[in-house]
Homo-oligomer: A and B are copies of this chain.
Amino acid sequence: MLERKTRLQTYAELTASDRTTIQSLIEQRHRFVAARRDVVSEGQAPRYINVVIDGWGCRYKHLPDGRRQVLALMLPGDLCDANVQVLRRTDHGIGAITPMTIAEIMPDALSELAFDNPRIARALWWNDHVSSSTQREWIASLGQRSARERIATLFCEIHHRLKLIGRCDGPVCEFPLTQADVADATGLTPVHVNRMVQDLRRDRLIELSGRTLTILDLPQLQEVGLFTPSYLHLDQTILAEC
């Protein structure tokens, strides 16, 4: 099994004992969610803080008439809703794209931990900050980038995030999203996503088949997508080098 590494552990110089504490918190309660089922449904009152141990998911939201928008991708190590205890009910859902393993943490246990341990508090802080920054980049993407640019950007983001958690084999990584998922994330039609993906293939920038994405020319793909990884704040993470 791949090393389990929460995103928290990438955000601050945690000591061995910090990690053990977090690890034990994470191991207490696991939940398995089948592909295409909800981890947290829209409107549901959140009871736990969910940490993705394995599998891919997404945060999503529906308009009143049923149109669906993916708000963020959740990859292994991601913390779903650090601050959501305040909420009566969530205004969005979290869905599993692949089968997922989720660690459920008691909110109180985590806040206690953060209270006692400034390094962990800081890591949580950072986690929020990065997801907020990523949300902002998605707004810019949806507002300003063309279809081709959005898709290129999405591929770049995924590549960088997977690399950070050690789930990239050079230019190759897993890619379990369907083109319909990509459409929901980019605000495009599945048909149009398909055409743009084919363009990127034709230009020898990527290969995509099965559930595998290969980035043939990352610098070029980044240029096509006007992608700069700064919003992921990889530079301020400990694992930036891996």
Q: Give A residues with C-beta under 8 Å from B.
A: 59, 61, 63-65, 67-71, 83-84, 86-88, 91-92, 122, 125-126, 128-129, 132-133, 135-140, 142-145, 184-187, 226, 228, 230-231, 236
Contacts and interface: CB of A to CB of B under 8 A. Distances in A.
A67 B125 contact: no
Contacts of A142: 139, 142-143, 187
A59 B139 CA distance: 11
A187 to B, nearest CB: 3
Contacts of A65: 226
Given A139-B69, A139-B135, A140-B71, A145 B86 contact: no
A136 B63 contact: no
Q: In the complex this chain forms, how many copies of it are found? A: 2
Contacts of A70: 143
A139 B91 CA distance: 13
18 contacts: A61-B137, A63-B145, A65-B226, A68-B144, A69-B139, A69-B140, A71-B139, A83-B129, A84-B129, A86-B122, A86-B125, A86-B129, A87-B129, A135-B136, A139-B139, A142-B143, A143-B185, A143-B186
Contacts of A226: 63-65
Contacts of A139: 61, 69, 71, 135, 138-139, 142
A186 B122 CA distance: 34
A125 B69 contact: no
Given A70-B143, A71-B140, A83-B132, 19 more contacts: A59-B136, A61-B137, A63-B140, A63-B144, A64-B226, A64-B228, A69-B140, A69-B144, A83-B128, A86-B122, A86-B129, A87-B129, A91-B136, A91-B230, A128-B128, A132-B135, A142-B187, A143-B184, A143-B185
A80 B201 CA distance: 42
Nearest to A59: B136
